[in-house]
């Protein structure tokens, strides 16, 4: 157990880097602002029963950090607007200077969240085999989860992999304390990019639980892949997750966990093909958090997918997605507050 003066959940957000998409574009860009505003209203507005939560604008990722993971030529071509039309279509966004800033902040916020749980770990306990006590056990980025990016190409609304970059930066910057990392990917789509990026890197283990009928590109091999049947609901999904995740964590013994908390398994999601309820997703969140907390493992939360059937931000469908995204962070705050440190 950890002893701290106060539990704190540092959160980073990048909705200030706004990208105006063409009319009819299917990406729900407004959800990021709505999730952040909802969290600020809920978590900053309460004192008793909620841990201290901080909010900060996501920094933009550096070239050095990006190149821990991505091909330098690929990164520079994107910076300079030299993607082909086909590359832009595959990523899913038209190129603009605003989109570059948003992509960089999508990575930079996850890197910053990683530093928030790792930064002073090396200073607290240098005994062989001892776990560090981070300033915060959980941190989060209200964006990111861009798990379909590869070293030299992107797809599925992902230019760079924020989690992969943050994982590689953690291994680079905290070699004494971060030796093993686990990516827990609960998006409805397989984390194919991260599976490839870490295929030959035993320091990072990849776990993906996703819909069996929802591959939009070639399937890749994670260290552990769990395919959930189309239409599955809470009981089947949670049974599979609870059967595999805690034992995997005990086997890997990670020093750091990244949680891709996509909400597209939700029954209201336009693209998901699963039938989880909001309560089912909250139980999923709690399972991940309880597993990490029980073992004292610092955990970084990212947003991932969530696609409303109605793209009007004022619609009920849009509200379902926003509410479930908020739950990912609010459930973390509640878990921190109710746990003994």
Output the 3-class SS for the chain. Answer: CCCCCCCEEEEEECCCCCCCCCCCCCCCCCHHHHHHHHHHHHHCCCCCCCCEEEEEECCCCCHHHHCCCCCHHHHHHHHCCCCCHHHHHHHCCCCCHHHHHHHHHHHHHHHHHHHHHHCCHHHHCCCCCCCCCCCCCEEEECCCCCCCCCCCCCECCECCCHHHHHHHHHHHHCCCCCCCEEEEECCCCCCHHHHHHCCCCCCEEEEEEEECCCCCCCCCCCCEEEEECCCCCHHHHHHHHHHHHHHHHHHHCCCEEEEECCCCCECCECCCCCCECHHHHHHHHHHHHHHHHHHCCCEEEECCCCCECCCCCCCHHHHHHHHHHHHHHHHHHHHHHHCCC
Residue 54: φ, ψ to 5° = -115, 150
Annotation says 70 is catalytic: no
**Of residues 70, 115, 141, 148, which has the active-site annotation?**
148
* Distances, alpha carbon 308 to alpha carbons 77, 103, 321, 325, in Å: 32, 22, 6, 12
CA–CA separation, 77 vs 83, rounded Å? 6
Catalytic sites, residue numbers = 148
């Amino acid at each position: 157990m950890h002893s701290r003066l106060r539990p704190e959940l540092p959160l980073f957000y990048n909705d200030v880097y706004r990208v105006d998409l063409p009319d009819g574009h299917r990406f729900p860009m407004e959800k990021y602002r709505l999730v952040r505003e909802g969290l600020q209203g809920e978590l900053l507005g309460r004192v008793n029963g909620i841990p201290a939560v901080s909010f900060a604008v996501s920094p933009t990722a550096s070239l050095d950090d990006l190149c821990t993971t991505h091909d330098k030529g690929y990164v520079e071509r994107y910076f300079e607007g030299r993607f082909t039309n086909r590359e832009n279509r595959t990523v899913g966004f038209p190129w603009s200077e605003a989109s570059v800033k948003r992509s960089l902040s999508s990575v930079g916020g996850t890197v910053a969240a990683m530093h928030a749980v790792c930064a002073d770990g090396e200073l607290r306990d240098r005994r062989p085999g001892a776990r560090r006590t981070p300033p915060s056990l959980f941190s989060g980025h209200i964006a990111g989860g861009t798990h379909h990016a590869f070293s030299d190409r992107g797809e599925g609304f992902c230019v760079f992999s924020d989690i992969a970059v943050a994982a590689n930066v953690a291994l680079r910057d905290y070699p004494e304390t971060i030796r093993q990392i686990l990516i827990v990917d609960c998006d409805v789509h397989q984390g194919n990019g991260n599976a490839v990026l870490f295929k030959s890197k035993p320091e990072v283990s990849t776990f993906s639980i996703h819909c069996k009928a929802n591959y939009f590109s070639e399937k890749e091999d994670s260290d552990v892949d769990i395919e959930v049947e189309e239409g599955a609901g809470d009981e089947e999904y949670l049974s599979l997750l609870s059967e595999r995740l805690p034992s995997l964590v005990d086997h890997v013994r990670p020093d750091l966990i990244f949680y891709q908390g996509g909400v597209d398994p939700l029954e209201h999601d336009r693209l998901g093909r699963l039938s989880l309820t909001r309560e089912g997703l909250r139980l999923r969140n709690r399972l991940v958090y309880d597993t990490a907390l029980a073992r004292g493992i610092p955990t970084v939360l990212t947003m991932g997918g969530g696609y409303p059937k109605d793209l009007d931000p004022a619609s009920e469908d849009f509200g379902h997605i926003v509410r479930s995204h908020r739950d990912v962070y609010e459930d973390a705050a509640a878990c921190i507050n109710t746990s003994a440190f």
